[in-house]
Structure 1
């Protein structure tokens, strides 16, 4: 055994290595939620071997659980629940299959972008004020930024001079960046200069 090896090496776990190496990116795997941790979820895979250290060979990180921001893993899954996940990669340090639950569900941002062209006027609720602008929720799980320069036709220094959190406002979609999952909005374009 080399000094860099650990207890999960190929010679002590040949069946597990062979199983994990046989998986292909994008493959759908099923299993049961074996344990919930604050950093993610262990999944005991239906057709996989047991893991020597962890409650399951599959692992879903918190961001891969849902397209929406979640406060607690239990909002999405519970121990004992059957799940179908997409295989993302073989983590050969921890000897686990990294999985995604959200990959098998429609991406709400993509769906929003498909049905909402740039220039669309929407109603939204202000969720957060920052020095450079405000975030506005325009659909379930979809928030966009109204940059400070897009708040009014005349320059303002502070967003709170124009809006407050929970204000209902009309905005216009000015940009949809699918790759970075960002939505740019304008309050001033929703109300002509007066």
Structure 2
């Protein structure tokens, strides 16, 4: 019984699957919007490709506007695809000061910066010491859930351009050219101030009605749900004060189940 012929790309897959490594090679052609690359370690195999969206911070119609056949190219390893070819991000290596800055930031560290713009999808922050970003008006970015423990309708209710903020680093991503920050991580968790447990009766205020029940605020920035079945046909309205009993606390999922207390 003969052994199956090994794929010539298998050794490459084993060597270069480590995300974040930097490899160089030569452009050998294009596959639609992707750039096909022959890595230096494998001169006889077109062993890598750069997806069009990871080629450059510049917007172009076709990758040939940026590079040509025979040109040397350097990129960061993203992963190996299903055929064992290495996927590279040359965008991650395009702006050396930006890359150097991002590689120097550790997850969990605390950084300070200035809010540069506020959008419905999140907030950009210029972190102290960063070089100008090639596209965005700041390397730091705070997504909506990481802004505050308090409820709000728009991020502009929490921060404003020009405001100094301090946040915890969630991840520094060279491909995205971005540092994901959490302002909430450095704020006191309101659940730590709850001061009540399962079985306790506490006063609350109905904050909103939904088809399956009513949400009741039992502490600042802490709400629980009274299921419609537990209301037993009892009519309640927003703003109404309601004495409730804590039935269940699911801290990992940040949910509290309540029932009317009498």
**Same fold per superposition (TM over 0.5):** yes
Residues in 2 aligned to 1:145 and 1:127: alpha-carbon distance in whole angstroms:
10
Shift of 1:167: 1.8
User: Corresponding residue for 1:34?
Assistant: 116
Where structure 1 has 5 or more consecutive residues not aligned to the other structure, the ranges are none
Shift of 1:92: 3.4
User: Corresponding residue for 1:141?
Assistant: 221
User: Corresponding residue for 2:208?
Assistant: 128
Residues in 2 aligned to 1:51 and 1:131: alpha-carbon distance in whole angstroms:
46
Residues in 1 aligned to 2:93 and 2:180: alpha-carbon distance in whole angstroms:
22
Shift of 1:150: 2.2
Shift of 1:165: 2.4
Q: Figure out how many residues of one structure are paired with residues of the other and give that number.
A: 180
Residues in 2 aligned to 1:173 and 1:25: alpha-carbon distance in whole angstroms:
36
Residues in 1 aligned to 2:246 and 2:206: alpha-carbon distance in whole angstroms:
15
Larger radius of gyration: 2
Shift of 1:121: 1.1
Residues in 2 aligned to 1:185 and 1:73: alpha-carbon distance in whole angstroms:
30
- The question of whether the paired residues in 2 share the 8 Å contact of 1:110 and 1:178 is answered with no
Residues in 2 aligned to 1:164 and 1:36: alpha-carbon distance in whole angstroms:
34
- The question of whether the paired residues in 1 share the 8 Å contact of 2:121 and 2:144 is answered with yes
Residue 171 (structure 1) aligned to one of 239, 244, 260: 244
User: Corresponding residue for 2:127?
Assistant: 45
| Cα RMSD for the two superposed structures | 1.7
- The question of whether the paired residues in 1 share the 8 Å contact of 2:247 and 2:257 is answered with yes
Q: After TM superposition, what 4+ stretches of structure 1 lie above 6 angstroms from structure 2?
A: none
Residue 152 (structure 2) aligned to one of 64, 70, 88: 70
Residue 259 (structure 2) aligned to one of 186, 190, 193: 186
TM-score (norm 2): 0.64
CA separation of 1:13 and 1:146: change in aligned 2, threshold 3 A: same
User: Corresponding residue for 2:175?
Assistant: 93
User: Corresponding residue for 2:164?
Assistant: 82
- The question of whether the paired residues in 2 share the 8 Å contact of 1:126 and 1:135 is answered with yes
Q: What are the equivalent positions in structure 2 for 1:16-35 lying under 5 Å apart?
A: 16-35=98-117
**Which one has more relative contact order, counting CA pairs under 8 Å at least 6 apart?**
1
Shift of 1:21: 1.9
Instruction: Output one character per residue of 1:58-114: Cα deviation in whole Å (capped at 9) or x when no partner.
Output: 1111111111221121211111111111000123332010001111001112332xx
TM-score (norm 1): 0.85
